[in-house]
A and B are shown apart, each in its own frame.
Chain A
């Protein structure tokens, strides 16, 4: 399997304490993506300036002469780089890092099982991404092992996959964290790179099954944060009587600025400020006014707390 990261004691990916496995590779390309390193299914590398001790071992080690020192630090010429990762292996400081790793189901399972004691009751594993459904065959094998050990499984998905993939995974999944980002098909195509028809139709079908569903909507300034979008999503949920336990409006944050920089990519949200509490409140009430169970709609994210801290500091 190709995974990005294993995050232990995660408190933000479902109920209780969870071990979250981030899969690498995603069919969507959302302009605001918080995990840009998760989009490509292939192994990548990145360089952390703060860790670099300037020994240049990476440059010496590179058989393709792809690395050089520039005023911005170590530059990788990706047209020359063969991704042999000798620069990563030789870096004494861990400044040159591999993004993504190939791991066997067995090894991944052994990592997850280490925190079983902390999952008590409500917690468990969250398979996230990237897009898990892009590696369904492997994911099923992992889920079978986890279920055999009584571990609860949450699946965090964009919903952009053939329904057949859901059918193979659903027997093991206790909770779906399902993203509804943008309601309008054209807007979705423009902002996320794919059409959302299949995402909606999958959700309608999933809603007929018994799996628990939490809907998540990222609130991104000038992308998803208009009342019209939230109203439309709420209407969709309502019209199709989508069964969900929670609907979380997840406030935008800009903690990923450095990630884009390390990947040598620009990010159009680089200077975007955090969503205000008022906006979140407005969107929340918009959603609550339409759905049948307004009490299960909430807004989450660091913004709320960060904002308070910022206010009082000034």
Chain B
């Protein structure tokens, strides 16, 4: 590496934070790590690894068996007393997890660290009786069990779904402001107010279990207090001794009681948060923090007044950053691949209030400094909320940080469009008591960019990932697959099947409207199918995978006396994330152009071209690729179809609720990395794409389609979401995706080469507020640098790239995706 483009380096770090950051990046060489600790109840039918959580990561399917057996093999047995087995399953789960984290997971203090709470990754017993285990086995592994159904569903090219952990913003503010003592007493009151019948029902069991879980942080904090004291006694260095004693003092207060200052607020937040990951047995998948600069601000102001220096603030936050990253240690020996790339402990910065006024404060800038100083680093992930009244000072800082990194070290969320989507949700789901103009500005983002409310909302934002292109495939073969598929796991051929309704032989689809209608009917069908398949894992989780501790942090669970996995949250949604959107729209556009407008080819010829993967049909393919209209060019007619299809997708999605837990389905567009793998599962597409080539990503135009540059691209995205009109959902903005939509644009670094150009980039962002989508990920890449990184991965270990709103270390993503990212380094002329 000859410094082609300077890689972002950390800077301004205190010796403490420098040490912690270096320590973290030692990785496997580290003397300490946060690898999974495994705990079994010792029953022969016990299991720890829960595959339901991994259905949405289909590349892990081949490893389920290994994960299951290896976690059991390495498990420590915790022998629970006989009385334990008299308890309800909910109470057993809460008790076991508490026992494991408080009394078995080692309590350790990291050198130089200012925060307590080190190890938390664990896999724990499901505490099932033999009968329960048998029932669950049947539900998972039976002939029509979730495993087989999910695997077939995936290999037939519908997508993937599964009841997944995380992806919500717990009510952390409640704990910081009031402590678990408040949660506990509220639960006690709730229990006391129950009739004896209720107390003995599942409702009573839930509340009792939550009371057990609510004391878990208190008891763990006690352990840490003792540990700090021990270490302090041994410590010779007087400065470190004082720090350890301060940590002990903190642990004697939070998170059981309310935080008294900024330091305690962060300590309270960390312990509370890490226990969510422990409770879910899953490190950090979209367990997000919400508006960190807002709810921590009063503590910051108070502590500043009491003399806290900015250096100390940054040190405390630096320690917090360190700990968030240790989530990745879970499978540290497996390496940084696959599932470990997708964590998203997200937090928002800035944004507006109900009146549209800006809420940027001093802490916003401090948090940005911390990100800037520590970058490149993966967690926690920032998401900066931008809106019409965002001050220039913040915009300048944001643009400056984008310019100095390889890509934006954060996502940008756009308030007006996002809020419009949330208001639409309130209308569609009839929940305007919970989401309305007075509180909607308090929304925050989960995982990458998925918009939800805070503390009372589980929107299941990556639970259902639907490959929309499957609908086109089905429409082109009267409801059947176009080609047989294959189960990669077993090598078994999956025969062509009549999945969907018969929407007509191709000869019958003699007008564009008839063809488009067939695609819509098949789209309705695949949505319904995804809902049915999702139900399988949802009901199993509700029955056997409760997360009692997490439920104490989600409003609605106590009131309804339901676990969050049972639909306890006040706002309970499952988001269908539409994948392959632009390819699907472009395919519809290409067929319109080839078959119905130019009348050069019959639908049957197009079908044959796809069946033959375009081989022998190169001229038709060239026309489809180069002459047919495409979404992403700010072309009124093309975007009108994009918008119409989007609305159809959204409207169909709102029709469904989960049967077992009554969670309402809602629409979104986030493709994680599926757009890459879907390219192999699904056949060639009428837009000219061959099988094996990637699909379009989230709401982005197809790769290379955006020939008129970033503004045309962004305008199309805004139009697809709903555009603007006199009857907007919020102001003039319309948005049919409450979840929001992932939009990534790659810019060449020359766009940011001098102050003049930084202002031009700022103008782009300001325009995006008006015309664009809900969220934007900016990549600043240089193809030379990326090719060099491919050749010399060791020298680019820390090079971050952003794909679909999640960050990954470039050298850890597959070669094909690497090439794809290089191909996307597109806007050369700027």
Contact = CB atoms under 8 A, between A and B. Distances in A.
Interface string A4-26: 00011101000011000000000
Contacts of B757: 11
A240 interface: no
Given A9-B830, A115-B711, A17 B622 contact: no
A11 B631 CA distance: 24
B784 A313 contact: yes
A312 interface: yes
A122 B750 contact: no
Contacts of A51: 626
Nearest to B750: A305
Contact of B830 (A11, A53, A55, A121): A11
B674 to A, nearest CB: 30
A73 to B, nearest CB: 16
B3 interface: yes
B750 A302 contact: yes
Interface string B693-711: 0000000000000001111
A309 B619 contact: no
A220 B788 CA distance: 33
Interface in A105-134: 114-115, 117-123
Contacts of B121: none
Contacts of A117: 766-767, 769-771
B634 A92 contact: no
Interface string A65-103: 000000000000000000000000000111000000000
Contacts of A57: 619
B13 interface: no
B778 to A, nearest CB: 14
Given A55-B618, A92-B627, A93-B622, A8 B711 contact: yes
A297 to B, nearest CB: 15
A114 B715 contact: yes
Contact of A120 (B622, B708, B753, B763): B763
A57 B626 CA distance: 15
Contacts of A55: 618-619, 622
Interface residues of B, number: 35
Contacts of A114: 634, 711-712, 715
B759 A16 contact: yes
B709 A118 contact: no
Identify whether the interface residues of A are mostly helix, strand, loop, or mixed. Answer: loop
A201 B763 CA distance: 36
Nearest to B763: A17
Given A93-B626, A313-B784, A118 B4 contact: no
Interface in A5-58: 7-9, 11, 16-17, 51, 53, 55, 57
Contacts of A302: 750
Contacts of B769: 117
B812 to A, nearest CB: 25
A121 B2 CA distance: 39
A312 B4 contact: yes
A305 B754 CA distance: 11
B59 to A, nearest CB: 35
A309 B3 CA distance: 9
A184 to B, nearest CB: 32
A122 B763 CA distance: 9
Contacts of B623: 92
Interface in B594-628: 618-620, 622-623, 625-627
Contacts of B770: 117
B760 interface: yes
Given A92-B619, A120-B766, A8 B2 contact: no
A117 B768 CA distance: 8
Nearest to B765: A118
B141 interface: no
A8 B763 contact: no
Contacts of A92: 619-620, 622-623, 626-627
Contacts of B751: 11
B63 interface: no
B764 interface: yes
A302 B748 CA distance: 13
Identify whether the interface residues of B are mostly helix, strand, loop, or mixed. Answer: helix
Contacts of B760: 11, 16-17, 123
A51 to B, nearest CB: 7
Contacts of A313: 2, 4, 784
B764 A17 contact: yes
B767 A115 contact: yes
Contacts of B634: 114
Interface in A178-231: none
B711 A312 contact: no
A123 B766 CA distance: 12
Contact of B784 (A7, A9, A93, A309): A309
Given A94-B627, A305-B753, A119 B622 contact: no
B708 A8 contact: yes
Contacts of A115: 711-712, 715, 767
Interface in B28-59: none
A123 B763 contact: yes
A11 B712 CA distance: 15
A120 B619 CA distance: 43
Nearest to B618: A53
A48 B2 CA distance: 34
Contact of B712 (A8, A16, A123): A8
A11 B764 CA distance: 11
B759 A118 contact: no
Contacts of A94: 626-627
Contact of A122 (B753, B759, B829): B759
B215 to A, nearest CB: 54
Contacts of B618: 53, 55
Interface-centre pick from B2, B753, B760, B770 (highest chain A CB count, 10 A): B760
Interface-centre pick from A7, A9, A119, A120 (highest chain B CB count, 10 A): A9
Contacts of B625: 93
Nearest to B766: A120
Contacts of A118: 711, 763-764, 766-768, 771
Interface-centre pick from A11, A16, A51, A122 (highest chain B CB count, 10 A): A11
A53 to B, nearest CB: 5
Contact of B763 (A16, A93, A312): A16
Given A117-B767, A309-B784, A9 B750 contact: no
A8 B709 contact: yes
A269 to B, nearest CB: 20
Interface string B455-485: 0000000000000000000000000000000
B541 to A, nearest CB: 44
A17 B4 contact: no
Nearest to A17: B763
A94 B784 CA distance: 28
A313 B753 CA distance: 18
B763 A119 contact: yes
Nearest to A120: B766
A185 to B, nearest CB: 34
Nearest to A314: B2
Nearest to A12: B830
B711 A17 contact: yes
B134 to A, nearest CB: 61
Interface in B290-340: none
Contacts of B627: 92, 94
Interface-centre pick from B4, B763, B769, B829 (highest chain A CB count, 10 A): B763
Interface string A225-252: 0000000000000000000000000000
8 contacts: A53-B622, A55-B618, A92-B622, A92-B623, A92-B626, A93-B625, A93-B626, A118-B764
Given A51-B626, A114-B712, A118-B767, 19 more contacts: A8-B712, A17-B711, A53-B622, A92-B627, A93-B622, A93-B626, A114-B711, A114-B715, A117-B769, A118-B764, A118-B771, A119-B767, A120-B767, A122-B759, A122-B763, A309-B4, A312-B2, A312-B3, A312-B4
The 8 A-B pairs of least Cβ separation, nearest first, read A118-B767, A92-B622, A117-B770, A94-B626, A117-B767, A93-B622, A92-B623, A9-B711
